[in-house]
Amino acid sequence: MKYTKFTNCNLIDNGITYFDSELFINNETGKIIDDPKDNANTKIVDLNGKYLAPGLIDIQNNGFFGLNFSNLDGNSSKEDIDEYKRFYNDVMAKFLETGVTGVCPTITSNFAEVYEKVLPILKRSRTNYMTDSLGAHCEGPFISLLKKGCHPTETFVDAKEGSSKIDHVYGDKNFENISIITAAPEIDGIIDIIPYLKSKNIIYSIGHTNADYETGLKAIEQGATMITHLYNAMPQPHHRDPGVLGLINNPITNDAPYFGLICDGIHVDASMASLAYKSHPDKCVLTTDAIFMFGLEDGTYKWDKRNIVKDGFRLCLEGTKTLAGSGTSLIQCVRNLIKWTNIPLAQAIKTATNNAAMSLNLQNQKGFLTVGCDADLIVLDDNCIIQSIYKLGKSIRVNDQNHPGNLIANL
């Protein structure tokens, strides 16, 4: 059949539920369309009153199912790169089963030779069988020593040399493969190169920073449009010294930045997640900050020259309380937000679909149920459990498991 019609469903889009609605897709283009008025070539899918929403988008994710997106370096051979590519395609197909149809593969602070190797592989994609890359998220290495988290300090650099340093670190030929760069605005030279990044269609996100409120405002005035994992790796707010957090609802700039929020119940307390969301719901973007141990069994794993201990969804550097990332699925973060804020399903889904797409300037391609957008879809029940997944209109197996052991066992 050339077309598919979803009927007897409730559409969720832009925070609104459209009850008893229909949606049409063109199976050849994989896009949402108006009613083709061609019953002879239309397949009918009755959703029996369930909710149909855009596929989820994760703007910060360091890896999953054993793959670390940063896992190549200057010594990597052609065989190493070929194996990485095979592994990458495999885990992106598995990750699609969790309902995430688009992701920004994230590379933590690293050396130029790592970006040279991995960024061409993490380039933007559009397929009907695996999670799409929406362009890489380069988290570092222009970040603060005081707010380094788990990032390796030997990779840290400044931008005193201006845009030429950016060109050297990431490779000027790789800019088309980058969607977001997280950097601390107080690092020498960073604020001055924000317009340069913007000219390359790269989103500048404030993160891993010790910047004060005023420095954050300067970054926004220069073109910053995002904050990376709010609350984490930044000064904590005070009522007379709000820090970076104060930017999400500031009365000075024309528009507040989007902000990533890790709602795994570990990185951010429920009350503080609720506070941030309610401060500016239209700019809240749920993200997992997952690392390669997502979907793996509990235990101790090697990461560079260090070890990370996985205990359920909590991932910490061995012997410390320093969080190394998350092991929680994005749909579970959505369910957590519903529980913590008592908001309707449609408004919670918006934070992982519409808001995420808009933060990446992809609202005309992804993350919405509007005509012309890709038919990347999830079907949900009343409890926000994924029932079905469609990638460019193709049905995909579902693996919505909240428990890590169940997640790996179900693969």
Catalytic residues: 289
Q: CA 208, 211, 213, 219: dihedral to nearest 10 degrees?
A: -80
Radius of gyration, CA atoms only, the chain = 21
What residues have CB less than 8 Å from 293, skipping those under 6 apart? 66, 301, 308, 310, 315, 325, 327
What residues have CB less than 8 Å from 180, skipping those under 6 apart? 59, 60, 104, 135, 136, 137, 138, 202, 203, 204, 205, 226, 360
Read off φ and ψ for residue 263, nearest 5 degrees. Answer: -100, 55
Looking at residue 238, the DSSP 8-state letter turns out to be: B
Neighbours of 71 (CB within 10 A): 21
Region class of 29: left (phi > 0), else alpha (psi between -120 and 50), else beta: alpha
Written as six digits, the tokens of 90 are 């495999």
Q: CA 94, 400, 2, 7: dihedral to nearest 10 degrees?
A: -170
Q: Three-state SS for 136?
A: strand
Q: Which helix (H) or strand (E) holds 350?
A: helix 345-350
Angstrom distance (rounded) from CA 177 to CA 194: 17
Written as six digits, the tokens of 80 are 């190493």
| Paired sense of beta strands 203-206 and 226-227, if any | parallel
Between the alpha carbon of residue 141 and those of residues 154, 189, 207, 236, the distances in Å are 9, 13, 11, 22
Read off φ and ψ for residue 145, nearest 5 degrees. Answer: -60, -30
Between the alpha carbon of residue 182 and those of residues 86, 143, 202, 206, 352, the distances in Å are 28, 8, 10, 6, 19
Angstrom distance (rounded) from CA 56 to CA 286: 10
